[in-house]
Amino acid sequence: MPTLLIVPSGKSTEVAPGTPLLRAILETGVRLTHKCDGQAKCGECHIFVNEGRKSLSKVQRAESERLDATIGVGTKSRLACQTIMGQENVTVELLDFASG
Number of domains in the chain: 1
99 falls within a domain = no
Written as tens digits, the pLDDT of the chain (100 aa) is: 999 999 999 999 999 999 999 999 999 999 999 999 999 999 999 999 999 999 999 999 999 999 999 989 999 999 999 999 999 999 999 987 544 4
| pTM for this entry | 0.92
How crowded is residue 54: how many other Cβ atoms within 10 Å of its Cβ? 9
User: The domain that contains 47 carries what CATH number?
Assistant: 3.10.20.30
78 falls within a domain = yes
State the residue range of the domain holding 39: 3-94
Contacts of residue 80, Cβ cutoff 8 Å, sequence gap at least 6: 20, 21, 22, 25, 32, 34, 45, 46, 47, 92
